[in-house]
Amino acid sequence: MSLKGKDLLSIHDLTADEVYEILDLAKTLKAKQKAGEPHHLLQGKTLGMIFQKSSTRTRVSFETGIYQLGGMGLFLNANDLQIGRGEPVKDTARVLSRYVDGIMIRTFSHKEVEELAHYSSVPIINGLTDLMHPCQALADLFTAVEYKGSLKGKKLAFIGDGNNMAHSLLHGCAKMGMDIAVATPPGYEPAARIVAEAKADAAKTGSQVIIVNDPLEAAKNADVLYTDVWASMGQETEQMARKRIFVDFQINQSVLAVAHPESIVMHCLPAHRGEEITDEVMEGPHSVVFDEAENRLHVQKAIMALLMGKK
C-alpha cells in the first residue's frame, strides 16, 4: 500500500488503512523529532505552498515540516502568482508541476483545488477550502489516538457551525469507526451530501452520525468535545448576526459536565475566547488544544512523506 503520487483533497477519498498509515508514520516522525533524530525522507524535494487565505498554523507547520524532512518550502501568496491576475488554474497547475515535487494550497473554492489536482502531475494537498480541512481533521484524529488509545467506539461531539471543519471530522470519524454528533443552530447544519457520505461510511464501520440542534444532546458522554469559530474567513459581514445565533453553542462548564468525565477538548484555532469556547475550558485540565496544534506539524510531515517520497 502506498499513497505516493496521490492527492489529499478530502478524507473521504482515503481508505481507513491509508488514514492509519498517515497516523502511524506521524507517530514515528514525532518520536524521531523529540529524540533529535534526523528524518530526511524528502531530501532535495520542494513543496510549493499557495496561500489565498492567510494562516498561522498551516504556513508554519508545512514550511517547518518540509524543512525537517530535508526539503524546501516555497511560500506563494496569491498576489505573487499570475493565478491572482487571472491565469487559469489549469495553466498554473501544469507550470508549477514542472518546478516542484508537491503543491499545498489553502484557498476558498474547493472546486479550484479539484481543478488544480486534475491538471497537476505532482501531488496536491488541500491545506483548507471552504468545504474541507482534511489536514486539520487528521491531526485531530491523531491527537484523539494519543489521548484515548483508539478511535473505534469513541464519540466526538462537534458544537458550532456546520463548516469545513465539521465536514472533515464527519468524514474522518465515520471512516474510522468513531461516533460523531454535530450540534448546530437550525439552518447551519453540515452539507447534506457530506452527512450522507459520512452515514454511508458509518454503516460500514458500525459507528453513528448524529445531527442535532442541541449542544447538550450532542455532548452527552462524548470522549472528545470540539468547536470552531462561529464566523470563518469570508464570513466577516455575518459576524455580529452569528454571535446572536450561536450564543448557546459554546463549550463551557455546562457542556463539559455532560461529556465523559475524562473527555478532552479540542479547537482548531484561532479561538475567540468567550464566544465558541470559554477561557476557563480552554485553559482547563480537559483542554488538549495546543498538543492538537503541534500535531499539525507531525501529521502533515507524514502526509508529505507518503505523497511525495519513495514507496
268 is catalytic: yes
Task: Quote the pTM value.
Answer: 0.97
173 is catalytic: no
Question: For helices 110-119 and 89-96, what crossing angle results, to 10°?
Answer: 50
What's the burial of 223, exposed, middle or buried (CB within 10 Å: 0-12/13-18/19+)? buried
pLDDT tens by residue, 219-243: 999 999 999 999 887 777 888 999 9
pLDDT of 311 over the 80 cut: no
Residues of the chain with CATH 3.40.50.1370: 16-133+296-308, 136-292
33 is catalytic: no
pLDDT of 84 over the 90 cut: no
DSSP H/E element including 119: helix 110-119
**Residue 43 — φ and ψ, nearest 5°?**
-55, 125
Q: Which of 286, 296, 298, 300 is catalytic?
A: 296
> Can you give the pLDDT at residue 238?
86
59 is catalytic: no
pLDDT tens by residue, 106-162: 999 999 999 999 999 999 999 999 999 999 999 999 999 999 999 999 999 999 999
Q: Residues annotated in the binding site for carbamoyl phosphate, as ranges?
A: 55-58, 82, 106, 133-136, 268-269, 296
Q: What is the DSSP string of 139-178?
A: HHHHHHHHHHS--TT-EEEEES--SHHHHHHHHHHHHTT-
CATH number given to 136-292: 3.40.50.1370
> Can you give the pLDDT at residue 237?
83
CATH number given to 16-133+296-308: 3.40.50.1370
Cell of 68: 525537517
**Cα(58)–Cα(73) distance, integer angstroms:** 12
Q: Residues annotated in the binding site, as ranges?
A: 55-58, 82, 106, 133-136, 164, 228, 232-233, 268-269, 296
228 is catalytic: yes
